[in-house]
Amino acid sequence: MTELLTAAQMRALEAEAIASGSITGAELMERAGAGVVAAVFEEWSELGEGTHRAIMLCGPGNNGGDGFVVARLLAEAGWSVDVFLYGDADTLPPDARTNYDRWCAVGDVTALTLEALMAQARPDLLVDAVFGIGLNRPVPDDLSECLAKACHGGWKKSYAVRRVAIDCPSGLDADTGEWQAVSDVWSSDLTVTFHTPKLGHYLGLGPSVCKRLTVVDIGLRGNAMEQQVIGLPPKPERVRLVEPRFLGVQGPNDLPTQHWPANQMGRRRAGTGEHKYDFGHVVVFAGGVGKGGAARMAARAALRVGAGLVTVVCPKAAVFENTMHLNAIMLRGLGADDALDTVADDRVSAFCLGPGMGVGAATRARVLEVLARRKTERDWRDPAVVLDADALTSFEGHTDTLFAALHPRTVLTPHEGEFARLFPDLAMSERGAMSKAEAVRTAAARAGCIVLLKGSDTVIAAPDGGAALHSADYDRAVPWLATAGAGDVLAGLIAGLAASALSSDIFSMVEVAAWLHVECARAFGPGLIAEDLPEILPQVLRELGA
């Protein structure tokens, strides 16, 4: 399991290790530099053979110290290395100054200016070791000019230069993924970070400027990557990365059965249940005539992912239309003034409301009626409630009413626009220095339930502050998932997984749903439309050994 750290958490972990006497700062810096060199040679094997030229851009902190180590190790391997320093050597931190002095015994250091940099011949490798995770202010204009020129056409045939960033491309906020420079955005071809990724590698512009991300083990130990139990919510104030090895999809023997249900991700085994109701009954609310498609897609996703039975509830006028599209999914008509109990008994274990329902008072009233449902003798816990799309927008201006009704087994699944309607002070345009992860955490605490804010950097947060991030970037990029109805399918996946009496905590089910959603899109490929997602799910589950 991988946790994503903030810059402050990473510094605290390093300081704790140094204070314990288990390692020195100089040893950490040496390991970091050696890790960068190894990562470069692994990424570009041709650079490990013969002699080459490198330009090292070092900054005024410990990131610059890592750069001096890289320079020295490359020189020892026979490379020609030119080192530039942004800042004053006399103010370098002690370990960085030590490695500056060690480099000076090998070669020269030149003050970093645009003229001095462009006077150099085109290198084979350019290493950005200026700020790393230490950036806490906008990049100065003179440095921005240097970095932008070096990364975008400063030399003839500049496309031949391999660009490496140590920790983060200078200009990227390691906590928020926001860009901290006024000039052009520049990027690396490879970003090498240490111990564990940082939030900014996955949020915002992080993936687009880091390009490829490699994590180097430098021998740190501590709470950052340990003491997490699979199938349980993340620890408060931590953000874990939703990834295959955490979800346990590398083989059934990897799954601790006391936490992970037998029907998770569609997995059913002998002895896990005797009746369809053991795997949950999901009710999905649909809109009126001509507006049932979104709910039907959500319902089909819930059934495909493992719910024992699924019912679509729609206005009576839309029953005939939906009958033409539904077979395995049951259908009930509900009048505007009819009570919920007339179509949903106490065996319903999950509800999905919002896709295609329509925006307005009628939707608000139905949502509040569903949220008032509580556990019964036949259902030992409150039903899960997934609110998406119109069920969220209907409460714009009525958030106090919604938040008062929500309970811990509720999941809100907004995109950024819907999120802004419910939490205007946390909207993207209002966040300032607050990261997306912190915004979603704050929203979950305010609402008292799980909040999933969609995007290629989907963030899931619990009311206690624990959070997870599911990334659809780097090797999991699926731009074709940005298609109408894809969010409706995600809502159905969450409801289907959360419905089972055998499922573990609802937070983990939301993580699994987010992962499967992208995995289905990856399996289908370009040309995907939302209807394809539930249909390819069986193939994905088979490949996972479910």
Give the model's pLDDT for residue 245.
59
Torsion of CA 513, 517, 523, 529, to 10 degrees: 150
Long-range contacts from 528-531, C-beta under 8 angstroms, 24+ separation: 528/480, 528/481, 528/483, 529/483, 529/484, 529/485, 530/297, 530/483, 530/484, 530/485, 530/486, 530/488, 530/489, 531/297, 531/485
How high is the mean pLDDT of the chain?
90
| Interval 345-377: pLDDT, tens | 989 999 999 999 999 999 999 999 999 999 887
The verdict on residue 257 lying in a domain is no
The verdict on residue 252 lying in a domain is no
Residues 212 and 286 in one domain: no
CATH number, domain with residue 7: 3.40.50.10260
| Interval 253-266: pLDDT, tens | 333 333 333 344 44
The verdict on residue 232 lying in a domain is no
Average pLDDT of 311-319? 97
The verdict on residue 233 lying in a domain is no
Give the model's pLDDT for residue 223.
45
Residues 112 and 208 in one domain: yes
Among 216, 245, 260, identify where a domain stops: 216
Structurally, the chain folds into a number of domains equal to 2
The verdict on residue 260 lying in a domain is no
What's the residue count for the chain?
Answer: 546
Among 193, 216, 239, identify where a domain stops: 216
Give the model's pLDDT for residue 236.
84
The verdict on residue 273 lying in a domain is no
Among 183, 199, 216, identify where a domain stops: 216
Contact criterion met (CB below 8 Å) for 182 and 138: yes
Environment class of residue 53 by beta-carbon count within 10 Å: exposed (0-12), middle (13-18) or buried (19+)? middle
Residues 111 and 193 in one domain: yes
Average pLDDT of 477-483? 96
Q: Where does the pLDDT of residue 235 fall: very low under 50, low under 70, confident under 90, or very high at 90 and above?
A: confident
| Interval 482-537: pLDDT, tens | 999 999 999 999 999 999 877 768 999 999 999 999 999 999 999 999 999 999 99
Average pLDDT of 223-252? 62
Report how far apart the first and last C-alpha atoms of the chain are (Å, whole number).
Answer: 21
CATH number, domain with residue 344: 3.40.1190.20
Residues 205 and 286 in one domain: no
Range of lowest pLDDT (216-220, 226-230, 287-291) = 226-230
Q: Domain range holding 470?
A: 281-543
Residues 190 and 309 in one domain: no
The verdict on residue 224 lying in a domain is no
Residues 318 and 424 in one domain: yes
Token pair listed for 197? 């990724």
